[in-house]
Structure 1
Amino acid sequence: MKAFHHPDEAQHAPQFFLMRGTVRANFEVPARAASLRAGLDALGLKPEETKPAPREALLKIHTPEYLDFLEHAHAEWAAMPEAGAEIVPNIHPTPEMLAQSSRPAGHVISRAGAHTADAACPIGAGTWQASIGAAGCALAAADVAAKGGMAYALCRPPGHHAYAGRAGGHCYINNSALAAQRLRDAGAQRVAVLDIDSHHGNGTQGIFWDRPDVLTVSIHGDPSRYYPWYVGFAEEKGAANLNLPQPFGTSDEGWLAALDTAIAAIRQFKPDALVVPLGFDASEFEPLAALKVTEEGFKRAGHAIGRLKLPTAICQEGGYNVDLLGTLLQRFLTGFGEAR
């Protein structure tokens, strides 16, 4: 298995995080990548450094207005009097506003609200460079899968909450969606995306909602009491979509049973390639744990997914217990490799 990383991830070190009305330290920190690299090292995998994703690849998934915002808005923000170090919107346009508005967002504060879904995606001076570096990792992994192989992309920041024109939930560029589109462009007629992060892959679902060529499957904590709150329910179908929300406290057996259901749907879809948005925040030891998956559960998940024997691009998503991330990555990739 090949692995990819980009050192610019360290330029993104978000500070702001709002939790139940309290501002606290952000969980999505550079130490996450260090832990994951240690896990790769323990497996004898030396990740290759990739090139940042080019704009033409990003435009396959994201709008030009959104990409312009991500790349340039921080400089405009920083020039305002008394500006904070990061872009954090204090207003988002409501459906009523948008229905009656006669003008597009202009001022950087207005654009910040329009191009972010929540306050959990602060944009700092290094966010753009880190994001296109992470996206480059996803594209490199997809290129390996396009040739019939398998690869792991150490994507930081993660991506599955990012919509075509909106950041959200620590995510800016949708790395997994980029990988899926890259596989389609390389000749795969059908691609499956199997998201096992504990949060619903709402951005990926939104990007491919009307497309029958990309199946999006997500196993996640019940969104009626968990991010992203408004989507991720079982009744959401789209053109090719399956959501498998799990009750809070679900442990290995229930989670792996949902994975069996997901794998059965993927087999029925008959894809030519697979993208796995890999989150470890389903772990029993997560700081904001909703699910209770063990180390052995992640190994068993890797083995079950590996048994699909599809060309596979694995893109790192969440997981915020930095003391455990490397171990969980070892366990998952070991299980995956044993099945191949």
Structure 2
Amino acid sequence: MNQYRMPVVWSPATRDHDPRNEVWVGVATTGTEVAARVDAILAAVTGAGHPVTEAATHPDDVLARVHEPSMLTFLAEAAERWRQGPYADLVGQTRVVPYLFTTPAMTAGLPTRKAVAIHAEAGSYVYDTMTLVGPGTWEAARAAVDCALTATDLVLAGERAAYALCRPPGHHATPAGFGGSCYLNNAAVAAEALRAGGHDRVAVIDIDAHQGNGTAAIFYDRADVLYGSVHVDPGAGWFPHVVGYADETGARAGAGATRNVPLPEGTGDAPWLEAVGGLADWVVAEGCSGLVVSLGVDAAADDPESPLLVTADAYRAAGTVLGGVGLPAVVVQEGGYHLPTLGGLVAAYLDGHGG
């Protein structure tokens, strides 16, 4: 039996985002979510024989069902507004980075107004200092959405599965906020598109090293899209720090439709694969007819963001497990930052999913 070669969707525009730095604990550090990630993955998946196609342009309809309009407008305009400001001359900063966060601790119940200065307004949407916006950020993030939607189109047209080479990643983007190197939630968009395409109940299984707080938030009170994640325990001090615990199981109509499986630092292949298998069994038992896989490969041992010790063999096995549930699947790229091994890890998962 010939192995299924999963179609790969990508866009050259996903290279256009260049954050340059991440500001972590007040220090500008070299960014890890770089354009070279696209080329590393593309080389590996084409070398493995997966057919590649460029993303088609899609309207904003599905995107607007995932994110608040004000956030979309801010992201689309932020780089140009920053360029027109004094920041490059004053401090040499060419990227949008907030210095003020309008949290409840700051506003303390007072009536608030929209900030006039973009360096203040930015903190109404971006929730960390690591996720900078520059020329090309909106274009790349929007192209990543088109990758996810084109892959979904292929699945709705009859493909068993399709892989969206999304960059920047998306699973940390919430309805009205962005962070964690994510701007627009590609996996949530794919899930919504599967729903609109006739799937009554869709599951998102997230195997990135960190819980996708954005995807969890978007679907937390809904029963039609399940969200399951296996990730490093945020209680051990890992992003997203304040959410991603096992007792977060959904609310209102979505009660029971969220499942978090936090794992200790240093967890290796066997416990990680057991957790992936448990999520696969769960979505089958819940009667889902479509699947989105948030494929982060930053749980691998060599990854600079890795608190876990997952091998390429385990990613291949995870692909076999999730492909084995028999659901049409859109595989969406999330994290993974060790360029020498990144492409091979993605290819291993795709080969496993294709059986």
TM-score by length of 2: 0.92
Corresponding position: 1:227 with 2:239: yes
Per-residue Cα deviation, 1:201-249 (whole angstroms, up to 9, x for no partner): 1000001111110000011011121001010000111111000011000
Q: Matched residue of 1:323: which SS?
A: helix
Aligned residue number for residue 11 of structure 1 = 16
Separation in 2 of the partners of 1:45 and 1:181? 26
Residue 55 of structure 1: CA displacement?
2.1
Aligned residue number for residue 306 of structure 1 = 323
User: Which piece of structure 1 moves more, 259-268 or 187-196?
Assistant: 259-268
Give, as a single letter, the amino acid of the residue that structure 2 aligns with 1:302: G
Separation in 2 of the partners of 1:328 and 1:10? 20
Aligned residue number for residue 55 of structure 1 = 60
Give, as a single letter, the amino acid of the residue that structure 2 aligns with 1:276: V
User: Which piece of structure 1 moves more, 198-207 or 21-30?
Assistant: 21-30
Q: Matched residue of 1:216: which SS?
A: strand
Using the aligned pairs only, state the percent identity. 40
Q: Matched residue of 1:219: which SS?
A: strand
Aligned residue number for residue 146 of structure 2 = 136
Residue 15 of structure 1: CA displacement?
1.3
2:24·2:130 contact (CA, 8 Å) conserved in 1?
A: no
| 1:104-119 correspondence runs (5 A) | 104-119=114-129
Residue 53 of structure 1: CA displacement?
4.0
Corresponding position: 1:198 with 2:209: yes
Corresponding position: 1:85 with 2:94: yes
Corresponding position: 1:46 with 2:57: no
Separation in 1 of the partners of 2:260 and 2:353? 23
Aligned residue number for residue 254 of structure 1 = 271
Residue 191 of structure 1: CA displacement?
0.2
Aligned residue number for residue 196 of structure 2 = 185
Give, as a single letter, the amino acid of the residue that structure 1 aligns with 2:318: A
1:159·1:317 contact (CA, 8 Å) conserved in 2?
A: yes
Q: Matched residue of 2:171: which SS?
A: coil
Unaligned ranges ≥5, structure 1: none
Residue 101 of structure 1: CA displacement?
2.9
Residue 21 of structure 1: CA displacement?
4.3
1:220·1:246 contact (CA, 8 Å) conserved in 2?
A: yes
Give, as a single letter, the amino acid of the residue that structure 1 aligns with 2:117: H
Give, as a single letter, the amino acid of the residue that structure 1 aligns with 2:258: N
Q: Matched residue of 1:104: which SS?
A: coil
Separation in 2 of the partners of 1:246 and 1:331? 22
Residue 148 of structure 1: CA displacement?
3.8
Per-residue Cα deviation, 1:56-100 (whole angstroms, up to 9, x for no partner): 231011111111101111111111113311101111112133431
2:289·2:328 contact (CA, 8 Å) conserved in 1?
A: yes
Aligned residue number for residue 213 of structure 1 = 224
Separation in 2 of the partners of 1:75 and 1:46? 36
Aligned residue number for residue 76 of structure 1 = 81
Residue 151 (structure 1) aligned to one of 146, 162, 183: 162
Residue 111 (structure 2) aligned to one of 90, 96, 101: 101
Residue 248 (structure 2) aligned to one of 216, 231, 236: 236
Separation in 2 of the partners of 1:10 and 1:191? 30
Q: Any runs of at least 4 consecutive aligned residues in structure 1 with deviations exceeding 6 A, and if so which?
A: none
Aligned residue number for residue 334 of structure 1 = 351
Residue 20 of structure 1: CA displacement?
4.3
Measured on the aligned residues, the alpha-carbon RMSD in Å equals 1.2
Q: Matched residue of 1:245: which SS?
A: strand
Per-residue Cα deviation, 1:175-213 (whole angstroms, up to 9, x for no partner): 000000000111110000000000101000001111110
1:252·1:292 contact (CA, 8 Å) conserved in 2?
A: yes
Aligned residue-pair number: 338
Give, as a single letter, the amino acid of the residue that structure 2 aligns with 1:137: C
2:206·2:212 contact (CA, 8 Å) conserved in 1?
A: yes
Q: Matched residue of 1:324: which SS?
A: helix
